[in-house]
């Protein structure tokens, strides 16, 4: 079962995701956590994908829905440390042009300032 831990670095909310971002598992957990972060007033959200073990189209779809929901709140959702496989899926689906992707947390947090 996927797990998400939420932490903060200044005005940036970082969601550390562990496990599978797939149908019926991580996709639901991601939706709940992003909605909670937005309702708590977060606008700058980073999804830390370093510990994500697999992603499917449902997980990709939930990342897109989270991106859209965050944008509608006047914020920005960005990705941190996706695996090569996840990057490939983002390329296949052309979403690599939508998401800002970072290799280090410091760069991701700094990008909001």
Partner 1 sequence: MRGGQVVPEAVELPSEVASVAAAEAWVAEVCEACGLGEGEQYRLGLAVHEAVVNAVLHGNRQDPAKRVRLSWERRAGRLYVTVGDEGEGFTPPEPSDGPSLKPSGRGLVMIDRLTDGYQIVRRDDPPGTDLALVLKLIK
Reading phi first (left if > 0) and then psi (alpha if -120 to 50, else beta), residue 106 is in alpha
Q: Given the complex with partner 1, which of 57 and 104 has the nearer CB atom?
A: 57
Give the HSE-up count for residue 60: Cα atoms under 13 Å, Cβ half-sphere.
Answer: 16
Cβ–Cβ contacts within 10 Å for residue 67, how many?
22
- How far apart CA 24 and CA 1 sit, in angstroms, is 9
| Chain residues that interact with partner 1, rule: CB under 8 A | 22-24, 54, 56-58, 60-62, 64-65, 67-68, 85, 89, 92-95, 97-98
Q: Do 112 and 90 contact (CB within 8 A), yes or no?
A: no
Q: Given the complex with partner 1, which of 67 and 102 has the nearer CB atom?
A: 67
CB of 55 to partner 1, least distance (A): 9
Q: Given the complex with partner 1, which of 45 and 60 has the nearer CB atom?
A: 60
Q: Given the complex with partner 1, which of 16 and 62 has the nearer CB atom?
A: 62
CB of 9 to partner 1, least distance (A): 27
């Amino acid at each position: 079962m996927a797990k998400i831990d939420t932490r903060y670095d200044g005005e940036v909310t970082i969601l550390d995701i562990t496990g599978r971002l797939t149908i019926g598992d991580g996709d639901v957990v991601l939706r709940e956590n992003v909605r909670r972060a937005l309702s708590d007033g977060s606008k700058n959200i980073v999804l830390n994908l370093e510990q994500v073990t697999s992603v499917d189209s449902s997980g990709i779809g939930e990342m897109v829905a989270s991106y859209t929901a965050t944008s509608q709140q006047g914020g920005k959702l960005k990705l941190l440390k996706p695996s090569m496989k996840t990057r490939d899926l983002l390329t296949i689906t052309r979403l690599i042009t939508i998401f800002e992707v970072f290799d280090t947390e410091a760069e991701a947090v700094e990008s909001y300032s």
